[in-house]
Amino acid sequence: MGSPMALNLIKTGCDVTVWNRTKSKCDPLISMGAKYKPSPEEVTAACDVTFAMLADPESAMEVACGKHGAVSGMGPGKGYVDVSTVDGGTSKLISGHIKASGASFLEAPVSGSKKPAEDGQLIFLTAGDKSLYETVTPFLDIMGKSRFYLGEVGNGAAMKLIVNMIMGSMMATFSEGLLLSEKVGLDPNVLVEVVSKGAISAPMYALKGPSMVKSLYPTAFPLKHQQKDMRLALGLAESVSQPTPISAAANELYKVAKSHGLSDSDFSAVIEALKGKVQS
Amino acid sequence: MGSPMALNLIKTGCDVTVWNRTKSKCDPLISMGAKYKPSPEEVTAACDVTFAMLADPESAMEVACGKHGAVSGMGPGKGYVDVSTVDGGTSKLISGHIKASGASFLEAPVSGSKKPAEDGQLIFLTAGDKSLYETVTPFLDIMGKSRFYLGEVGNGAAMKLIVNMIMGSMMATFSEGLLLSEKVGLDPNVLVEVVSKGAISAPMYALKGPSMVKSLYPTAFPLKHQQKDMRLALGLAESVSQPTPISAAANELYKVAKSHGLSDSDFSAVIEALKGKVQS
Amino acid sequence: MGSPMALNLIKTGCDVTVWNRTKSKCDPLISMGAKYKPSPEEVTAACDVTFAMLADPESAMEVACGKHGAVSGMGPGKGYVDVSTVDGGTSKLISGHIKASGASFLEAPVSGSKKPAEDGQLIFLTAGDKSLYETVTPFLDIMGKSRFYLGEVGNGAAMKLIVNMIMGSMMATFSEGLLLSEKVGLDPNVLVEVVSKGAISAPMYALKGPSMVKSLYPTAFPLKHQQKDMRLALGLAESVSQPTPISAAANELYKVAKSHGLSDSDFSAVIEALKGKVQS
Amino acid sequence: MGSPMALNLIKTGCDVTVWNRTKSKCDPLISMGAKYKPSPEEVTAACDVTFAMLADPESAMEVACGKHGAVSGMGPGKGYVDVSTVDGGTSKLISGHIKASGASFLEAPVSGSKKPAEDGQLIFLTAGDKSLYETVTPFLDIMGKSRFYLGEVGNGAAMKLIVNMIMGSMMATFSEGLLLSEKVGLDPNVLVEVVSKGAISAPMYALKGPSMVKSLYPTAFPLKHQQKDMRLALGLAESVSQPTPISAAANELYKVAKSHGLSDSDFSAVIEALKGKVQS
């Protein structure tokens, strides 16, 4: 997802320097005018503000704090914006290292997947240094359509978990409705349409409903990641003694779906967990 | 809800005759040009097509089949459209009596409450005589923004139950998210806004979220009716052996809310069922 | 189940008159000394106290109130004890007819299946006329090991539903434990044994655990009847706004099991609802 | 719980050496004939086999591997039996240190609380060195009534979690039954008695039911520990993709009970989570 985000910055005339573990992935951006540096350290040394988009907490840690990592090139007056989705603990660790160099840190996980990234329609859930947030506002507005500043580091991660928790439960109950409509002789495609007209209409239903009716689950957000987020959200809820029975029940369905071998399908495949076995 | 629907018909120049158990409720419509008849029987005798909007199944039965009821004035060539929300069984009973007179019948429960009724933005979930559906299409399009024809009588009621089942679960998990965000130190109003920007955005959340954060539940759809619909939907699911664990868990929360004395509050008051007791 | 119960009465020297729709089923009892009458009416006319054991509410109604039914032979000074498992509504109907004849009525559903019936180890959950309860105490003590008098008619049925609700949830969570132990590499037979030694030991676990481990479910109590009882218990809970989230979740598993074609297996087959599909 | 266990060993004539962080707690045992050593290291140096009973994983680690800890006195030919309840990870860490000294290790968490400890009625769920298990069998049989050998270290902890998971769900559904019986006008004490006679009878119900009916929860096993065990069991289930919807629903009730301030009450206080709020 980093590529389309960088491309939007380049297109609007920003001075962009890029790096990727696999250099060839940078070539399209370089051909569009981006500069290239051979390590995170050299990127952060050359730039005022650096955006990091990594696949998982381990990579985010390595690129920030590893050998020739971003921290080595940071210092007072510079800023580091981590737009990866990582847990609050990892975010705090990275923040600690960056700030020890004298630089500023902003956690900024995004809500939205590949298509919104290309269209500059991401949502940024930021937390950390408020002044850095204000500095990067113009760039966030190029890459996204909305941005939120949520206070101390860790709050961005928490907000994203809560949104995904609600999303997971909504997908599960929508699945119940689709299957129930079919079982009682109604066309589930009509349910998708009826839902799209009223108070419970959500873009996700309109987007995924038609393929779910065909038992197709092209992966936009893998089911195993959705289940992991629900587990983390339930852990968060437990840490503050907040009951969440709906999400707990939904999490069980994602576990059932995983046990059916659907970990790498789209999370809408949770509907399979509600289908009866075919009897021999 | 019958008044604003009739008013929209009158405003567009339709020839409308009205009746209500309490005549004074008809006065504003009469002042706008509506004719008045003193019984359902006389309304149906005078009109080609009659729309009935009653509060509950018992009233719907009484007005259709009771003394001086609608059936007495029906006959071949006429049509009866029941836009009340009743269960499938009641709908079939009324249909049977109407059709025995030689007339046509259409079940047409609406999705949407007072405001959409006033704005001509209702959604009609119709089932029954297809030819009557085609006859009344112009009128449905005046009162609403969408209409669905779903086949045999009972299907409209079933579709509405399924939509309300999904709605009930969505409200319950949204409540979990609001409370969790507050417990971990995030502003729940920001969660409402974040949700409103993304894939899980639904008009209901934007409408009710802000008042839920203030623990206010002005009644648009009473909690006891939502719980009743969830019970009926669970019964429907059970009749076809469709598992619905999310809705079953949500139903329990509505029951908890009822036991807290919230039956007549808006169904968004289900959030109260997830709050801890204050300790003395 | 009526046969072994009657046999225990005969063996202890009681003067027993029998009737069954299929006369041949009475032959073994007749050969042991029982008298026979060709209709319920003639049985009740000849006896001071009549015990009725029928398979379902419809049969119980027919035998009590149908043509040549028990009511016709009843009158002041006589007693009718219905040991069938029927719902509270049916029980009240039968009671009304019996008492209108001047006779006494006792609802007395039994807890226990065929083996306890043979061994005189049933549990009677009685409600209705207290004086009749006292009259039949010696007979209940021959057929069973425990008896409870619960007040007004309907209470016996309610108590039985509640016991079966707890039983259904217990079986479901026991299933979770068996499968979890197996998945983490523990022998589920050892779990059965560990459970049998401690505070949560229940005869049901010891009895059914070993066959569940082998995926065998010889029917003692059909799964569909367990699911029906859970549905009725949930309805009872809803009628008094008592939340029962555990039983609601368990009910969903029994529905899943039914959708897997296990309606006529023993209710311990609910464990199948928690097993993943085998992937092809 | 260590005291009554040691006392039973002393009473049967075993040569027992004791240590406790608070020496005065050893005095009653010393007056009964036990020797005393001032550190775990000196205990293990002096004894062939050492039993360790600590309150939590941290203490178990400290006593085994801290300064002057048990490991320092261990060596070939000696055995260390940890009867504390710790998680599998801690158990494996301690095992590693003990075995590095050349000694043998046995994990042996107990099922049962203070009273069974005093009565020599504990259940040992052991795992680790089989030869050490065989060596200590006579001692386990003095302190307990049952013992299980479950294979590799970690299995004892896992078995205990699964048993406690089932226990937690059973207590939650029993609570549902008690409250439902009361709401429909049945005496919940009679439900306790009915349950005690049949297939679902469990010692836990007979022990705790009568006080639950009185809303009394004298602490035998704290609710927060039960909730922690359910969380760990759900984590274990999630790690092997085993759905456990009943336990997940039950866990939510324990969380509700915690939010009501009942963490330190007995876990039977989970029933409070199912009671409605009193309205002002």
The pLDDT tens digits for C56-110 are: 888 999 999 999 999 999 999 999 999 998 888 899 999 999 999 999 999 999 9
Q: CA C74, CA A168: separation in Å to the nearest integer? A: 62
Cα torsion through B4, B10, B14, B17, rounded to 10: 80
In the structure, what pLDDT confidence band is assigned to residue A32 with cuts at 50, 70 and 90?
very high
How far does CA C221 lie from the centroid of its chain?
Answer: 9
For the cut 80, the answer to whether the pLDDT of residue C16 exceeds it is yes
The confidence score (pLDDT) of residue B69 equals: 96
Higher local confidence (pLDDT), B3 or C1: B3
Is the sign of the CA dihedral C104, C105, C111, C116 positive or negative? positive
In the structure, what pLDDT confidence band is assigned to residue B277 with cuts at 50, 70 and 90?
low
Q: Are B245 and D245 in contact (CB under 8 A)?
A: yes
DSSP letters, C198-216, are STT--HHHHHHHHHHHTT-
Q: Backbone phi, then psi, for D162, in 5-degree steps?
A: -65, -45
Q: Are B234 and B210 in contact (CB under 8 A)?
A: no
**C160 carries an active-site annotation:** yes
Q: Which of C87, C155, C160, C242 to mutate to test the interface with D (most CBs of D within 10 A)?
A: C242
Burial C47-80 (b: 16+ CB within 10 A, else e): bebbbbbbeebebbbbbbbeeebbbbbbeeebbb
Contact D159 C181 (CB under 8 A): yes
Which candidate from D244, D255, D258 shows the least CB-CB separation from A252?
D244
Q: Are C277 and C263 in contact (CB under 8 A)?
A: no
Please compute the mean of the pLDDT values over residues C172-176 and round it to a whole number. Answer: 98
Residues of A within 8 A of D243 (CB-CB) are 252-253, 255-256, 259
Token pair 């008042």 is found at B211
| CB neighbour class for B190 (10 Å; exposed up to 12, middle 13-18, buried from 19) | middle
User: In D183-246, which ranges are E strands?
Assistant: none
The confidence score (pLDDT) of residue B201 equals: 96
Please compute the mean of the pLDDT values over residues A223-242 and round it to a whole number. Answer: 91
Going by C-alpha positions, the residue among D229, D273, D236, D237 that lies closest to residue D254 is D273
- The residue type found at C32 is M
Q: CA C145, CA B151: separation in Å to the nearest integer? A: 57
Element (H, E) at A86: none
What is the CB neighbour count within 10 angstroms for residue C130? 13
In the structure, what pLDDT confidence band is assigned to residue B280 with cuts at 50, 70 and 90?
very low
In the structure, what pLDDT confidence band is assigned to residue C278 with cuts at 50, 70 and 90?
very low
Q: Which of B246, B256, B272, B278 to mutate to test the interface with D (most CBs of D within 10 A)?
A: B256
Contact A243 D231 (CB under 8 A): no
Element (H, E) at A37: none
For the cut 80, the answer to whether the pLDDT of residue D212 exceeds it is yes
Higher local confidence (pLDDT), C55 or A174: A174
Please compute the mean of the pLDDT values over residues B57-72 and round it to a whole number. Answer: 94
Residues of C within 8 A of B245 (CB-CB) are 249, 252
What is the CB neighbour count within 10 angstroms for residue D218? 9
Structure tokens at D259: 């939010």
Please compute the mean of the pLDDT values over residues A136-165 and round it to a whole number. Answer: 96
For the cut 60, the answer to whether the pLDDT of residue B19 exceeds it is yes
Going by C-alpha positions, the residue among C243, D276, D273 that lies closest to residue B261 is D276
Higher local confidence (pLDDT), B253 or C87: B253
Residues of D at the A interface, defined by Cβ within 8 angstroms: 231, 237-238, 241-245, 248-249, 251-253, 255-256, 258-259
Q: Are A46 and A17 in contact (CB under 8 A)?
A: yes
Q: Which of A182, A252, A259 to mutate to test the interface with C (most CBs of C within 10 A)?
A: A259
How would you classify residue D107: left for phi > 0, otherwise alpha for psi between -120 and 50, otherwise beta? beta
- The residue type found at C103 is A
Q: Catalytic residue numbers of B?
A: 160
Q: What is the SS3 assignment for D271?
A: helix
Residues of B within 8 A of C231 (CB-CB) are 238
Q: End-to-end distance of chain A based on CA atoms, in angstroms?
A: 45
Residues of B at the D interface, defined by Cβ within 8 angstroms: 245, 249, 256, 259-261, 276-277, 279
The confidence score (pLDDT) of residue C39 equals: 97
The confidence score (pLDDT) of residue D88 equals: 85
- The residue type found at B151 is G
For the cut 70, the answer to whether the pLDDT of residue D173 exceeds it is yes
For strands D79-82 and D49-52, give the pairing: parallel
The confidence score (pLDDT) of residue C279 equals: 40
Domains of chain D listed by start with CATH number:
2-152 (3.40.50.720), 158-274 (1.10.1040.10)
Q: CA D45, CA B268: separation in Å to the nearest integer? A: 66
Q: How far is D102 from chain A (nearest CA, A)?
A: 37
Q: How far is D192 from chain A (nearest CA, A)?
A: 28
Residues of A within 8 A of C249 (CB-CB) are 249
The confidence score (pLDDT) of residue C128 equals: 97
Q: Are B263 and C250 in contact (CB under 8 A)?
A: no
Cα torsion through C58, C59, C65, C68, rounded to 10: 140
Q: CA C64, CA C101: separation in Å to the nearest integer? A: 12
pLDDT digits (tens, 9 = 90+) for A172-225: 999 999 999 999 999 999 999 999 999 999 999 999 999 999 999 999 889 999
Which candidate from D172, D194, D207 shows the least CB-CB separation from C246?
D172
Residues of B at the C interface, defined by Cβ within 8 angstroms: 231, 237-238, 241-245, 248-249, 251-253, 255-256, 258-259
Q: What is the SS3 assignment for D146?
A: strand
pLDDT digits (tens, 9 = 90+) for D145-158: 999 999 999 999 99
Contact D170 C172 (CB under 8 A): no
pLDDT digits (tens, 9 = 90+) for B98-149: 999 999 999 999 988 788 899 999 999 999 999 999 999 999 999 999 999 9
Q: What is the chain C residue with the closest CA to B250? A: C245
Q: CA D188, CA C178: separation in Å to the nearest integer? A: 30
Going by C-alpha positions, the residue among C222, C232, C233, C229 that lies closest to residue C257 is C222
Q: CA C132, CA C108: separation in Å to the nearest integer? A: 11
Contact B243 C256 (CB under 8 A): yes
Q: What is the chain C residue with the closest CA to B240? A: C259
For the cut 80, the answer to whether the pLDDT of residue A119 exceeds it is yes
Contact D246 C233 (CB under 8 A): no
- The residue type found at D60 is A
Token pair 């949830």 is found at C169
How far does CA B56 lie from the centroid of its chain?
Answer: 10
Contact A123 B169 (CB under 8 A): no
Which candidate from B112, B173, B197 shows the least CB-CB separation from A169?
B173
For the cut 80, the answer to whether the pLDDT of residue C171 exceeds it is yes
The confidence score (pLDDT) of residue D277 equals: 61
The confidence score (pLDDT) of residue B110 equals: 92
Please compute the mean of the pLDDT values over residues A120-130 and round it to a whole number. Answer: 96
Please compute the mean of the pLDDT values over residues C225-241 and round it to a whole number. Answer: 91
Q: CA D151, CA D66: separation in Å to the nearest integer? A: 27
Neighbours of chain B (3+ CB pairs under 8 A): A, C, D
Which candidate from A148, A173, A190 shows the least CB-CB separation from B166?
A173
Residues of B within 8 A of C248 (CB-CB) are 248-249, 251-252
The confidence score (pLDDT) of residue D278 equals: 46
Contact A194 B274 (CB under 8 A): no
Q: How far is A279 from chain C (nearest CA, A)?
A: 7
In the structure, what pLDDT confidence band is assigned to residue D280 with cuts at 50, 70 and 90?
very low
In the structure, what pLDDT confidence band is assigned to residue D1 with cuts at 50, 70 and 90?
confident
The confidence score (pLDDT) of residue A277 equals: 61
Which candidate from C241, C242, C255 shows the least CB-CB separation from B243?
C255
The confidence score (pLDDT) of residue C1 equals: 84
Structure tokens at A80: 């580091």
Helices (H), chain A: 2-11, 27-31, 40-46, 57-65, 70-73, 88-100, 114-118, 130-143, 155-183, 188-197, 203-213, 223-239, 245-259
For the cut 90, the answer to whether the pLDDT of residue C52 exceeds it is yes
Angle C51-C23-C133 from CA coordinates, rounded to 5°: 5
Per annotation, catalytic residue among C35, C114, C115, C160:
C160
| CB neighbour class for B125 (10 Å; exposed up to 12, middle 13-18, buried from 19) | buried
The confidence score (pLDDT) of residue D27 equals: 95
The confidence score (pLDDT) of residue D186 equals: 96
How far are the Cα atoms of A161, B114, D11, D51 from residue D25, in angstroms, in the given order? 48, 72, 18, 16
Query: Which residues 6+ apart lie within 8 Å of B39 measured at CB?
Result: B19, B68
Is the sign of the CA dihedral D137, D141, D142, D144 positive or negative? positive
Q: CA C106, CA C83: separation in Å to the nearest integer? A: 8
DSSP letters, B36-101, are E-SSHHHHHHH-SEEEE--SSHHHHHHHHHSTT-HHHH--TT-EEEE-S---HHHHHHHHHHHHHT
In the structure, what pLDDT confidence band is assigned to residue A278 with cuts at 50, 70 and 90?
very low
For the cut 50, the answer to whether the pLDDT of residue C163 exceeds it is yes
pLDDT digits (tens, 9 = 90+) for B161-183: 999 999 999 999 999 999 999 99
Q: What is the chain B residue with the closest CA to C230? A: B238
Q: CA B245, CA A252: separation in Å to the nearest integer? A: 10
Q: CA C26, CA C16: separation in Å to the nearest integer? A: 12
Please compute the mean of the pLDDT values over residues B249-276 and round it to a whole number. Answer: 94
Residues of C at the A interface, defined by Cβ within 8 angstroms: 245, 249, 256, 259-261, 276-277, 279
For the cut 70, the answer to whether the pLDDT of residue D133 exceeds it is yes
